């Protein structure tokens, strides 16, 4: 099977030839090119070349056209802080509740940083064709305000200013839809809808159903391609029955929750993506890495509906090459269907 066939079979809740695995490597391309992270993300050609080299080395079942989460608020005019060994992060919040009325979303084709992502996606598509899925990212309208306003400012808005909250959701949702569809038009196969604020790690399910759930339903319905919802290592077990109603097909799940229980609660309505602990992985031996892969396969792979990946949606810079190669080896050792 091609990676695309393997993934589609899995999403269809059937067993392919083996368990698909996504190594969501956004930073490691800089290592492959022997350049800094800041230089790496400065050119679409660098990310294209990095993604091609990473898949050649590790053999995973996707390309990842994602640059860094803060790129979306960078397009809004926010500052970005670069690190030598981690992802670029958003600088100081730039929005207050009083500024929402005059907030304007960026025009995607006029944003240099967003065009860079689209150009890299188009280049990757030229290699991937229809054989390897390209996973793109759009931060949810409900979660991006953390970078726009800061946590404190956003929680104040969420709980105390419903009219301004709705106004911000409309601006962000329109932007999210346009940004997601632009990436699909550039060649992406699917959109990863990053929505950590909706996880029960951050807000209770009751509040999610009144807010993030409704925003997701409205937004995802306008995205012209398949969508995976990812909680960036936040808990989601209590939401497994709700997520299919948003239109999402895949849920990125936390390593803090039991994978077998998540699979049961998904009930063939969702494909699970996860849930290797990307922080602990920094210290795993080759033997422990393989044992963790086997454990995940044993818990969730039977019957399809499972893609092995890390639990956060971004593998840290400090994860060693030998660890990533051990994941590959373990997939081929333990992940062939039928699972024994």
Structural domains in the chain, CATH included, are 3-334 (3.20.20.210)
Q: What is the mean pLDDT of residues 204-216?
A: 98
Confidence of residue 114 (pLDDT cuts 50, 70, 90): very high
Pairing of the two strands 250-252 and 271-276: parallel
At residue 340, the pLDDT reads 83
Is the backbone peptide bond immediately before 338 cis, with ω within 30 degrees of 0? yes
Query: Which residues fall within 8 angstroms of residue 98, CB to CB, at 6 or more apart?
Result: none
Considering the entire predicted model, what is its pTM? 0.97
Task: Tell me the β-bridge partners of 275.
Answer: 309
- CA 200 to centroid of chain Cα atoms: 17
Name residue, tokens 């399910």: 205
Q: What is the pLDDT of residues 285-318, one digit of tens each?
A: 999 999 999 999 999 999 999 999 999 999 999 9
Structure tokens at 155: 């929680």
pLDDT digits (tens, 9 = 90+) for 17-56: 999 999 999 999 999 999 999 999 999 999 999 999 999 9
- Per-residue pLDDT, 193: 98
Nearest in space to 63 (alpha carbons), one of 9, 121, 118, 116: 121
Mean pLDDT over all residues of the chain? Answer: 97
Per-residue burial over 150-163, b if 16 or more Cβ lie within 10 Å, else e, is beebbbebbeeeee
Contact at 8 Å (CB) between 29 and 316? Answer: no
Dig out the tokens for 312 from the structure.
């956060």
pLDDT band at 78 (very low <50, low <70, confident <90, very high): very high
* Residue 266 pLDDT level (bands cut at 50, 70, 90): very high
């Amino acid at each position: 099977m091609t990676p695309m066939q393997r993934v589609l079979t899995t999403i269809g809740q059937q067993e392919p030839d083996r368990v698909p695995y996504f190594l969501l490597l956004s930073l490691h391309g800089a290592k492959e090119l022997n350049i800094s992270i800041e230089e790496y993300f400065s050119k679409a050609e660098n990310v294209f070349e990095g993604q091609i080299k990473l898949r050649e080395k590790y053999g995973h079942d996707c390309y990842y056209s994602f640059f860094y989460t803060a790129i979306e608020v960078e397009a809004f005019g926010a500052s970005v802080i670069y690190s030598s060994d981690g992802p670029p992060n958003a600088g100081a919040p730039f929005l207050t509740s009083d500024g929402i009325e005059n907030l304007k979303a960026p025009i995607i084709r006029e944003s240099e940083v967003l065009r860079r992502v689209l150009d890299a996606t188009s280049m990757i598509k030229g290699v991937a064709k229809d054989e390897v899925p390209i996973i793109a990212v759009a931060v949810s309208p409900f979660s991006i305000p953390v970078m726009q306003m800061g946590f404190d400012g956003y929680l104040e808005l969420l709980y105390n200013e419903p009219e301004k909250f709705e106004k911000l959701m409309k601006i962000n949702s329109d932007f999210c839809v346009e940004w997601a569809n632009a990436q699909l038009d550039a060649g992406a196969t699917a959109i990863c809808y990053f929505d950590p604020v909706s996880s029960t790690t951050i807000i209770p399910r009751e509040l999610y159903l009144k807010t993030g759930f409704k925003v997701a339903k409205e937004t995802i319905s306008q995205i012209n391609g398949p969508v995976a919802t990812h909680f960036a290592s936040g808990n989601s077990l209590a939401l497994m029955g709700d997520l299919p109603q948003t239109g999402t097909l895949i849920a990125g799940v936390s390593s803090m929750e039991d994978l077998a229980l998540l699979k049961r609660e998904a009930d063939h309505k969702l494909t699970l993506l996860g849930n290797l602990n990307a922080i602990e992985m920094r210290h795993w031996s080759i033997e422990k890495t393989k044992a963790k892969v086997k454990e995940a396969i044993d818990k969730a792979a039977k019957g399809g509906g499972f893609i092995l990946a890390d639990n956060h949606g971004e593998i840290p810079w400090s994860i060693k090459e030998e660890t990533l190669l051990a994941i590959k080896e373990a997939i081929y050792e333990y992940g062939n269907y039928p699972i024994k």
